[in-house]
A and B are shown apart, each in its own frame.
Chain A
Amino acid sequence: MSSCASASALRYRDGVRTAAAVAATVWFFGASFGLVARSAGMGVLAPLVMSATTFAGSAQFAAASILAGSGSAVAAITAAVLLNARYVPISISVAQLFHGHRLRRLAESQLIVDESWALAGRGGRFDRRILIGAGVLLYLAWVSGTAVGVLAGDAFGDPKTLGLDGAFPALFLALLVPQLRSRRAVVAALVAAGISLALIPVTPPGTPIVAASAACLLGLRRPR
């Protein structure tokens, strides 16, 4: 059995270490969110509360930029919720890792974010300890980055100057490769890519990812 406490601590540490480089990127991204949110007129406290409760970069940036363009609350909420709708399929994919009381599962599920989820699936199977370990680290990086961005502001500038917008898809690509071990996974991934490409021009951001998740229905066919 792997119930030995030191082995368990080791796995948590592995999760934290694996996530360290990603956390640095997320920290800078959080700092840019703080800056963008502040200049969008969100003040100091609201961006911090948003990072602590929403903990999802793309939705937060979308909401801030809509508020900056003096868009309506409904527009900002709709955009952000659509962008985060992917967390329904994402959280279902790791549901098996959560045990215990409903409230505990609710609390722990908040550590699910694209990067912690992807890192946890790195070995081809999802690892609970990596999900939690990486989730805690990324949460701290995101919230503290936001705080520094809100307060220190201009020192950071546009995340695009640092190329961070190209770093995240490359990270997801690196974590996708070990998932493509079966022919079925490759076919499903290709279908998902096709759905995403087809829908990006015609649907609001966020929708293509949710629609693409339908490609996993290929899993209904038993492997031969």
Chain B
Amino acid sequence: MSTVWLVVLVVGFATVGLKATGPVLLGGRELPDAIAGVVDLLAPVLLTALVVTQTVGGDNELVLDARLAGVGAGAAAIAARVPLPAVVIVAAAATALARVLF
């Protein structure tokens, strides 16, 4: 098997398993109160981690680049209660613009 297909198949199978973890092992079951409190916090916690890593994450370093301008513009749009699709467009445009300018 070629390297490419080996990577594609192993990563594919692994990801199917990772995504299935919660639904297959815990699906359709009531969680005990203590666990439910923990699970409730997963959304804000994971979203925060996604925002941080995708804004300043680099290859083993913090990188401050045009993405920061995009997220900043997006934050301003969110504060102005702009609809979600517009937030995405504003952020992309600001990122692209900052990349041209700097």
Contact = CB atoms under 8 A, between A and B. Distances in A.
Nearest to B55: A169
A99 B53 contact: no
A197 B92 CA distance: 23
Contacts of A196: 48-49, 52-53
Contacts of B62: 197, 200-201
Nearest to B60: A201
**Mostly helix, strand, loop or mixed at chain A's interface?**
helix
Interface in A191-224: 191-193, 195-197, 200-205, 208-209, 212-213, 215-223
B101 interface: no
B18 A84 contact: yes
Interface in B13-55: 13-16, 18-31, 33-34, 37-55
Nearest to B33: A222
A161 B21 contact: no
Interface in A83-121: 84-100, 102, 105-106, 108-110, 112, 114, 118, 121
A45 to B, nearest CB: 9
A179 B61 CA distance: 28
Among A72, A98, A217, A222, max chain B CB count under 10 A is at A98
A184 interface: yes
A46 interface: yes
B21 A197 contact: no
Contacts of B34: 220
Contacts of B84: 18, 21-22, 171, 174
A25 B41 contact: no
A64 to B, nearest CB: 9
7 contacts: A63-B7, A99-B28, A109-B24, A163-B94, A180-B44, A219-B37, A219-B38
Interface of B: 3-16, 18-31, 33-34, 37-62, 66-71, 73-75, 77-78, 84-85, 87-99
Given A217-B38, A220-B34, 8 more contacts: A25-B92, A49-B12, A67-B7, A95-B26, A126-B43, A163-B94, A193-B52, A201-B62
